[in-house]
Structure 1
Amino acid sequence: MTLGPGDSPGFLLWHTTLRWQRDIAAALGPLDLTHVQFVLLACAWWLNGQGRRPNQLALARQAGTDVKMTSQVLRTLEAKGLIAREVDPDDTRAKRLRVTEAGAELAPRAIAAVESVDARFFQPVARDDALALLRALAGLEN
């Protein structure tokens, strides 16, 4: 018996991811942020809130993004006035990241928009079940 695409976990995950990404893009569009811009801004904002001033590599690790792509997106966020890249006093070749006042005002609004999408999107599944499944699939510890 040949299984159809609807019986393939990978195919279903592909379509699920596409639907979720469309919903996130629609929520972030009015805030003039792409999804990856949002993730990097939100991660930098969170790290700054923890008293940390990450460099580009630390931010990429936190966000799970490619370092070169992170650099390109950070330039865009800097041009938008949301992130400042400042010379690291301990290593003048490195840049430390600081969310600007405009970025600090936008980040919580963007997080709220994304959390609203997530709440609607994942509503059919119990939160703890969704988190457990996604952590397992992502290879993250609980």
Structure 2
Amino acid sequence: MDPDDSPGYLLWRATLRWQRQITATLAPFSLTHVQFVLLASLWWLDREGVLPNQLTLAQHADTDVKMTSQVLRRLEDKGLLVRETDAADTRAKRLRITGRGRELAEAAITAVEAADTAFFSAAPDRDALLATLRPLAAPRD
């Protein structure tokens, strides 16, 4: 089989190129890709009126819970969010995005969306690409 006939190989190469583009896009914001994903997810949940705990955010972003906790600690150190002990469950940490975090998230989201538009413009049919990716990205039990 030719590598150019392997969906996994092509997805791997496309993913690596896309990740490099996103890394470069996020550099001016001093955010790693995973920091961006978690901050953007928190921003989105906040917009929806949800005050998530760390587990809820990890599930929303589909990230490892322990890694999420470590990354959130770093985002808290940067003043982008606050982790507060949940009054109903003292083992859990509720997350609140700060004003600074909200501003940074909105600017970074705009930049990432522009980078995505540029990157995926090479795909001949965006709707078909989305239709292909949605089931592959869907949560699985």
TM-score normalised by the chain length of structure 2: 0.93
Q: Which residue does the alignment assign to 2:23?
A: 25
Residues 62-77 of structure 1 mapped to structure 2, 5 A cutoff = 62-77=60-75
State whether structure 2 residue 15 is matched by structure 1 residue 12: no
Alpha-carbon offset, residue 127 of structure 1: 2.5
Partner SS, residue 33 of structure 1? coil
1:114 aligned to which of 112, 115, 119: 112
Identity %: 63
Moved more, 84-93 or 9-18: 84-93
For 1:113 and 1:20, how far apart are their aligned partners in 2?
14
TM-score normalised by the chain length of structure 1: 0.93
For 1:100 and 1:130, how far apart are their aligned partners in 2?
35
Structure 2 residue runs without a partner (length 5+): none
Tell me the matched-pair count.
Answer: 138
1:37 aligned to which of 35, 38, 43: 35
State whether structure 2 residue 56 is matched by structure 1 residue 46: no
Runs of 4+ in structure 1 deviating by more than 6 angstroms, as ranges, are: none
For 1:42 and 1:13, how far apart are their aligned partners in 2?
24
For 1:104 and 1:11, how far apart are their aligned partners in 2?
37
Task: List per-residue Cα deviations over 1:18-69 (Å, max 9, x = no partner).
Answer: 0000000000001000000000000001111111110000000000101011
Q: Which residue does the alignment assign to 2:56?
A: 58
For 1:41 and 1:112, how far apart are their aligned partners in 2?
13
Residues 120-131 of structure 1 mapped to structure 2, 5 A cutoff = 120-125=118-123, 126-131=125-130
